[in-house]
Structure 1
Amino acid sequence: MSTGSAARSIAHASTTPFVPVVLGGDLPTYTLARAFHEELGARTISVTRGLPSAVKGSTIVENLQRPGKDDEDEVIATLHQIADRNPGAKILVLGMMDYWIDKLAQLAPRLDERFAVPYPELSLIESMNNKERFAQACAEAGVAHPTTVVLSADLTDAEVEEQLGDLRWPLVTKAADPPALHALFFEGKVKVGYPADLQELLAQRRVMIDAGYTEGLIVQERIPGGDEQMRVLTTYSDRSGAVRWGRMGHVLLEDHDPAWIGNPLAIIHGHSQTALEDARRLLEHVGWTGWANFDIKVDPRDSREYFFELNPRLGRSHAYLTAARHPIVTPYVREYVEGRDPYEDVTTGHELDDWLYTLVPYRMLRRYVTDPATRERLRRIKREGRIVRPYVYAPDRGRHRRIAQLKNDVAFVQDFATHYRRPVTT
């Protein structure tokens, strides 16, 4: 798993035959397939429109190309075909994007007992995906959340200015309904906006509305600090709603491409019992089940941890958990396939194991890490060979894997040269 080391033996065995199926074929699909292979010795089926480079040439992923993958009937037919050719096996169906989590929650009633879809009810997913309702849930559970105003699409510019009231600039803007924004294609679309002033905020909002976005726009006070103030927290709740496990990652670098801004690119071990207790309180308050992934920022002024959002799935950078030897797919299989306790006979990694998971090249990462103690920590991790790269997996070698990693590295070098040449720490 680590650079220059042999792959570990299979850690956990399943008592029930199963086939993991992932809708989508981008990088998180591949790293999830790595987890299935390493933890359980299973080969994953990915369902995609074309043949993404992330899974091309992989020996641990079988790719099914379905150009009509967005059609619900086509998805159902494909899943039934997979089940028919694997008699006696449970088909564990997963998605790695919010769009597909929503879609699977909608389609679950159309699937028979051969299938397992390990996500909460659609209404709960939609509620927690909605930034306004998430902020409300945080307030009810006593979890810190940035000061927030929600601007409905029917407000006039004058009403927007009035609603912003005493919010302190600089501000951050986000779609209240991310899946609704994701479905739209228009010039100037950004995942997160950083308007310099009121006029820029109004212009950004107008572009979104003209493109067909009719939901609310979240406006928040921006917590100071750069990428190194960010944290990612991943938790697992069993089917009764009890939070069973969680681990934090300390983000060193985020994506700064406007289309992907905020996605973690490099993560090392982090720890916060207070953040885990906050997450537990919030999740058990709303009755969440399965994996949840939180974006958190630590305010450098007082070290308070602010929860930004809940992703209803393993995050895109879930491999930071695999890097530290924490099983991420075995709990799903234990609970939803075998009908057992999710952590029965499951060994997690040591909480303080120091690993680096990075999508960007190490040398590039070093340029953007400014904290001296973290730089020294990186040097130690490098010396000990505790670096995990997304496409470097010993049992899945080959030309296509090397090409995929090279393309990944080149793309990030080019993106950062364009969008984020120097680290920002304020």
Structure 2
Amino acid sequence: MSRPVHDYTVPFVPVVLGGELATYTLARAFHAELGVRTTVVSRTVPSAVRGSAIVDNVRLPGMDDDEELLACLRGIADRREGHRVLLMGTVDTWVTRIAGLRDRLDERFVVPYPPLPLIQRLSDKEGFAALCEEVGVAHPVTRAVPAGAPEADLPAILEGLRWPLVVKAGDSSFSTLVYEGKKKVAYCDDLDDLRALRRTMTGAGYAGALVVQERIPGGDEQMRVLTTYSDLTGAVRWGRLGHVLLEDHDPAMIGNPLAVVHGASFTAVEEASRLLRHAGWTGYANFDIKVDPRDGTEYFFELNPRLGRSHAYLAAAGHPIVTPLVREHVEDRDPYDGVDVGPETDDWLYSIVPVPLLRRYVTDPATRTRLASIRRSGRVLRPLRYAVDGGRERRLAQLKNDVLYTTNFATHYRRPVTA
């Protein structure tokens, strides 16, 4: 077993709702940093955590029911007498669920998220756009198409926007819909495209608004991911920017970062800090940012009220991920008491996809040279590869991951797009 980087003074058990890749990398962080096992509550036994030596998986097919979920969580706490339960989620659905159940949890439970109304406001794409406008943070020109707006009103609602437009669902209920041709993010070249998309989504059961934005030019390599930590006073204590090299192009997952290297910015952390302080945010926040190749403007796209799906890029850079949460929310200490935040400039690579596949899509010659240097140095983190968790199921999970992404890119994104 590897030696933990940090210690802790209050017995606790991390409990994570979900079962995605981010669930495993969060469990990996708890084990690597503090030497503790994570309890994962999921409907089934997901491949991301199956056979893991650092995870205790609790199956709860009825976890969508509040009473069943609460009973399960209380049972976990009962079995870990004398421990605090640090309750977390790795997607917005679980984070909002946890925040909504906060008042029904007893003193054994710790919820490291802001109040639900604040989460809902900043997670809502319209609400986030409005906040950016209030604070003066660059954000793509955004309009909302109300659910009940007649098609005849669309030209007036979109007046002044330049096509093509990026179209997203404004309500999180969209994530639960399943239909042929579903896209997390869609691009519409003209009004007819938008009308057709809206009819398709409505026909599939979507009843929320659409968020429509002007498209900022540039390919995947113009994207950035920013993670910040705000303490319970609302002070932004730390932030780290990653330079995205490749995003997911599966229509259902489009836009999720798949490969990240060290990024630098003179303004992104400060802009995010102004926004978060103004809102009164606490805990982790994750931002998607795109740099306009025409003038270098950093446009903030959205805020995720949690560690992002690719938060393990922080581990690749040598930063603690979970220790600040434990310090502040479990131990009632300063979040960075005795915590080394890691180097700021060392080069590294975090990649969900196989590195040879990544190289196919990196078009910038300097970045390709940089990748080769990083590979020679060995500073490459593949999220499913963890030396102390190398059983057969774990090797199989990594193999399935690599085959999945190789197949998906061959299907959905055969050649890199830079414009």
Fold equivalence (TM over 0.5) = yes
| Cα distance between partner residues in 1 of 2:75 and 2:148 | 46
1:319 matched to 2:312? The reply is yes
Paired residue type of 2:100:
Q
Q: CA deviation at 1:30?
A: 0.3
| Cα distance between partner residues in 2 of 1:379 and 1:8 | 28
User: Among 39, 47, 70, which residue is 1:45 paired with?
Assistant: 39
Q: CA deviation at 1:10?
A: 1.1
Mapping for residues 224-263 of structure 1, pairs under 5 Å: 224-263=217-256
Q: Which residue of 2 aligns with 1:220?
A: 213
1:147 matched to 2:141? The reply is yes
| Cα distance between partner residues in 1 of 2:72 and 2:5 | 30
1:21 matched to 2:9? The reply is no
**Would you say the 8 A contact 2:183–2:252 is kept in 1?**
yes
1:167 matched to 2:172? The reply is no
My pick for the range that moved more, 282-291 or 193-202, is 193-202
Q: CA deviation at 1:198?
A: 1.4
Q: CA deviation at 1:129?
A: 1.1
| Cα distance between partner residues in 2 of 1:419 and 1:305 | 27
SS at match of 1:295: strand
Mapping for residues 270-419 of structure 1, pairs under 5 Å: 270-419=263-412
**Would you say the 8 A contact 2:2–2:388 is kept in 1?**
no
**Would you say the 8 A contact 2:41–2:59 is kept in 1?**
yes
Q: CA deviation at 1:273?
A: 2.8
Q: Which residue of 2 aligns with 1:120?
A: 114
Q: Which residue of 2 aligns with 1:156?
A: 150
Paired residue type of 1:106:
G
| Cα distance between partner residues in 1 of 2:155 and 2:403 | 42
Q: Which residue of 1 aligns with 2:83?
A: 89
Q: CA deviation at 1:87?
A: 0.7
Paired residue type of 2:113:
Y
Deviations for 1:349-399, whole angstroms, at most 9, x for unmatched residues?
A: 100111100011010000000011111110000000111101111111111
| Cα distance between partner residues in 1 of 2:155 and 2:133 | 24
| Cα distance between partner residues in 2 of 1:36 and 1:215 | 37
**Would you say the 8 A contact 2:163–2:188 is kept in 1?**
no
SS at match of 2:14: strand
Paired residue type of 2:43:
R
Paired residue type of 2:211:
I
| Cα distance between partner residues in 1 of 2:290 and 2:119 | 22
Q: CA deviation at 1:8?
A: 5.8
| Cα distance between partner residues in 2 of 1:160 and 1:154 | 11
Q: Which residue of 1 aligns with 2:99?
A: 105
Deviations for 1:191-211, whole angstroms, at most 9, x for unmatched residues?
A: 101123211111111122233
My pick for the range that moved more, 179-188 or 43-52, is 179-188
Paired residue type of 2:47:
S
User: Among 130, 135, 144, which residue is 2:129 paired with?
Assistant: 135
1:73 matched to 2:67? The reply is yes
1:194 matched to 2:204? The reply is no
Deviations for 1:133-152, whole angstroms, at most 9, x for unmatched residues?
A: 11010011110000111110
Deviations for 1:53-104, whole angstroms, at most 9, x for unmatched residues?
A: 1111100001011111111111101110111011110000000010001100
Q: CA deviation at 1:215?
A: 2.0
Paired residue type of 1:152:
P
Q: Which residue of 2 aligns with 1:57?
A: 51
| Cα distance between partner residues in 1 of 2:99 and 2:5 | 30
CA RMSD of aligned residues (A): 1.0
Q: After the TM superposition, list the runs of 4 or more consecutive aligned residues in structure 1 that deviate by more than 4 angstroms.
A: none
| Cα distance between partner residues in 2 of 1:16 and 1:255 | 39
| Cα distance between partner residues in 2 of 1:155 and 1:189 | 22
Deviations for 1:230-273, whole angstroms, at most 9, x for unmatched residues?
A: 00000000111111000000000000000000000000010213
Q: CA deviation at 1:162?
A: 1.9
Q: Which residue of 1 aligns with 2:203?
A: 210
Q: CA deviation at 1:124?
A: 0.4
My pick for the range that moved more, 209-218 or 321-330, is 209-218
SS at match of 1:194: strand
Paired residue type of 2:401:
N
| Cα distance between partner residues in 2 of 1:155 and 1:85 | 52
Query: Percent of aligned positions with the same letter in both sequences?
Result: 64
Paired residue type of 1:399:
R
Q: CA deviation at 1:47?
A: 0.5
My pick for the range that moved more, 137-146 or 200-209, is 200-209
| Cα distance between partner residues in 1 of 2:396 and 2:65 | 31
Structure 2 runs not aligned, ≥5 long: none
Q: CA deviation at 1:276?
A: 0.3
Deviations for 1:202-230, whole angstroms, at most 9, x for unmatched residues?
A: 11111222333222111111000000000
Structure 1 runs not aligned, ≥5 long: 1-6
**Would you say the 8 A contact 2:328–2:334 is kept in 1?**
yes
